[in-house]
Every structure is written in C-alpha cells, then in structure tokens.
Amino acid sequence: MASLRRVKVLLVLNLIAVAGFVLFLAKCRPIAVRSGEAFHEIRPRAEAANLSAHSASPIQDAVLKRLSLLEDIVYRQLNGLSKSLGLIEGYGGRGKGGLPATLSPAEEEKAKGPHEKYGYNSYLSEKISLDRSIPDYRPTKCKELKYSKELPQISIIFIFVNEALSVILRSVHSAVNHTPTHLLKEIILVDDNSDEEELKAPLEEYVHKRYPGLVKVVRNQKREGLIRARIEGWKAATGQVTGFFDAHVEFTAGWAEPVLSRIQENRKRVILPSIDNIKQDTFEVQRYENSAHGYSWELWCMYISPPKDWWDAGDPSLPISPAEKNKGSDKETGEF
Ligand SMILES: [Mn+2]
C-alpha cells in the first residue's frame, strides 16, 4: 500500500512538473518576442536599439545576467568588509542627509566612555553609514558653474592620531564617493604613531581590500606632530595637487572642481573651502556661512567676514581672498 501511494505521489509531482514546463515554454516565448517589439514602438531610438539587440541574443542576455550576478557578489563581498569591523555602508540609515543621529537610552550608556575619549560620539559614529548622504549647501550659483574636464589630479592626505576608525573610514569613503574618479590620484593616510590596535592591521587591511591600489598608509615611527606628519604625507604623494585634511571630515558634492580649477589657473594658490560643521554629539551637518579664514597676531586661526568688495560684488560663488594674491609656496600645494 505504502509503495503504491508513493508511486501515485511521484506521478502527480511529475505531471505538475511537466505541466509547469509546458506553461513556462508557452508563456516565455511570445513575451520575449512581444517585449522586443514593444520597445521598438515606445522607447527612444538609442535605447530601443540596445534593448532589442539585447533580447535578440540569448547569449548576450545570459552574459549580462551573469555579469550583474558577479557584480552583486563583489558588492556583497566589499560590503562584508565593513560588516566585519561592525560598520555599515550605503546612503541611508541613521544620520542620513546630514540629519542629527540618535541613540537608544541603552546605547547612550555604552556611548559615554568613547565620547569622552575621542571628544565626539564615536559610538554613534559606528551606527552611521560610511557612505551616508549629506546635504549640498552650496549657493545655487556655485552649483550652476561649469568646470573644465582637464583639471589636475589631487592626492588627498589625511592625518590622524588615535582617531576613531569609523570616523577615518567615513572620511575615506566620502572622499571616494564625492571626488570624480579621474581627479582622484590617491588617498594617503598618515598615522602619526597611534596606539589604538584597530588603526593598525584592521585599518590597513580594510582600505587595501576595499579600495585596491587607491590608498597608501604612511606610519610615523614616533609622534611627529601635525605639520611634520603632513610633510610625510606630502612626500608620499604623486598627484599634481595635494590636499591636506583632518581625518574627521565628510566631502560634499562638487567640492573638488572649483579647488582644482583655481590651482590650475595659478599653481601658487593655496585654497581653503568654506567648511560646514559636523556636530560632535549628533553628527548633524550644519551649514557654515561663507567666511574667510585669517590669523590673529597670535597666529590663531579665525573665521572673518569677507572683505567689503566681495560683498559689493554680490556674487556668492566668487572666491574670498583675505591675503595678497600670488603669494604662496613653490610647491603645487592646496592647503585646506
Ligand atoms: Mn578638525
């Protein structure tokens, strides 16, 4: 009896499978042909040509499917890298759009110690994606400006000592995400002799796997201080222009082109963009009004109001120059 029932079940399953296969054949064929025709009718020409060629060749179709599968695998692998460090990738999540990010009461407790150690909420930083979106606060006129495609390449140099790993990596991700590929020569991370273990092998392995060939790591054997550390980074740089940044920054869309084009016009220029503020407790991005950077007689850096002729010109896209023009170092250096 039992074996008879098994045969019956198998027979039914077989029938279902055959019926499914026949249905599949009947449905698939006409759809493939119909969709090809439909594209001819409704899609614009270039797109239609592309799509009809695509449906005409099953081999091409299979190759494209295979490629997108491989792309998925590579993406998952790369994304897995940040997961292994307890970090997150992608444009959304907490703090997206530069909005203030928050922690649950239980998380707040855990965040206290690291906050005191780093001077910012590093625990919260780990919960914010390395790729989070941030607002584009540029004046409208700046967004409309067009720049030459032939601009010099930049080496971006980050200096750090015991900075939180998530904050350094967000600086790196953000630099890659917001600098046109053809303008970014390399990213150089200068570790001015940190003690933190996570900034040694884990940092180095991550950047080399995530951005192969793009990131160089320079390690100072003893604490050199900010300026000598920057010089070490500059020595390793091979780009035509060098840009120096703290390792706790996020780049905005279109930051590179105006900087590079002003240096292209005059290689002795030292350019400092107007820098928005990232709040240390919530990582909210706050707009910073246009201002010039200057120095007091004690050489303290200060924000100063742009000079009267800048205001009189009434064009917020104009550069602000508080110093005499054409004075600068002989090296092609952009100091930010
Ligand atoms: Mn800073």
Number of residues in the chain: 336
Confidence of residue 221 (pLDDT cuts 50, 70, 90): very high
Q: Which fold has domain 140-281+327-335?
A: Spore Coat Polysaccharide Biosynthesis Protein SpsA; Chain A (3.90.550)
How far is the centre of ligand 1, averaged over its atoms, from the C-alpha of 248 (Å)? Answer: 6
Structural contact between residues 78 and 206, judged by C-beta atoms closer than 8 angstroms: no
3-state DSSP of 207-268 = HHHHCCCCEEEEECCCCCCHHHHHHHHHHHCCCCEEEEEECCCCCCCCCHHHHHHHHHHCCC
Domain ranges within the chain, ordered by starting residue: 140-281+327-335
pLDDT, one tens digit per residue, over 248-281 is 999 999 999 999 999 999 999 999 888 899 999 9
H or E element in which residue 112 lies: helix 105-118
How far is the centre of ligand 1, averaged over its atoms, from the C-alpha of 160 (Å)? Answer: 10
For range 227-241, the mean pLDDT: 98
Distances (CA, A) of 28 to 20, 21, 32, 134: 12, 10, 6, 44
Q: Which of 54-58, 80-84, 322-326 has the lowest mean pLDDT?
A: 322-326
User: What are phi and psi for residue 280, nearest 5 degrees?
Assistant: -70, -20
User: What are phi and psi for residue 151, nearest 5 degrees?
Assistant: -110, 155
How far is the centre of ligand 1, averaged over its atoms, from the C-alpha of 217 (Å)? Answer: 20
pLDDT beyond 80 at 9: no
How does the average pLDDT of the chain come out, rounded?
83
Q: Which of 26-35, 227-236, 257-266 has the lowest mean pLDDT?
A: 26-35
Q: What is the pTM of this model?
A: 0.74
Confidence of residue 212 (pLDDT cuts 50, 70, 90): very high
pLDDT beyond 80 at 330: no
For range 171-183, the mean pLDDT: 97
Structure tokens of 53? Answer: 């060629």
pLDDT beyond 70 at 52: no
Residue 165's DSSP bridge partners are none
How far is the centre of ligand 1, averaged over its atoms, from the C-alpha of 210 (Å)? Answer: 25
- Distance between CA atoms of 317 and 144, rounded to whole angstroms? 10
- The DSSP string of 267-303 is TT--------EE-TTT--EE-----EEEE-TT--EEE
Q: Pick the residue with more confidence: 13 or 229?
A: 229
What would you measure as the largest C-alpha separation in the chain, in angstroms? 102
Cα 233 vs. chain centroid, distance in angstroms? 21
pLDDT, one tens digit per residue, over 280-292 is 999 999 998 877 7
How far is the centre of ligand 1, averaged over its atoms, from the C-alpha of 275 (Å)? Answer: 10
How far is the centre of ligand 1, averaged over its atoms, from the C-alpha of 32 (Å)? Answer: 57
- Distance between CA atoms of 234 and 155, rounded to whole angstroms? 9
For range 76-84, the mean pLDDT: 79
Confidence of residue 42 (pLDDT cuts 50, 70, 90): very low
For range 294-320, the mean pLDDT: 88
User: What are phi and psi for residue 51, nearest 5 degrees?
Assistant: -70, -35
H or E element in which residue 144 lies: helix 140-144
Say how many CA atoms lie within 13 Å of 248 toward its Cβ.
Answer: 17
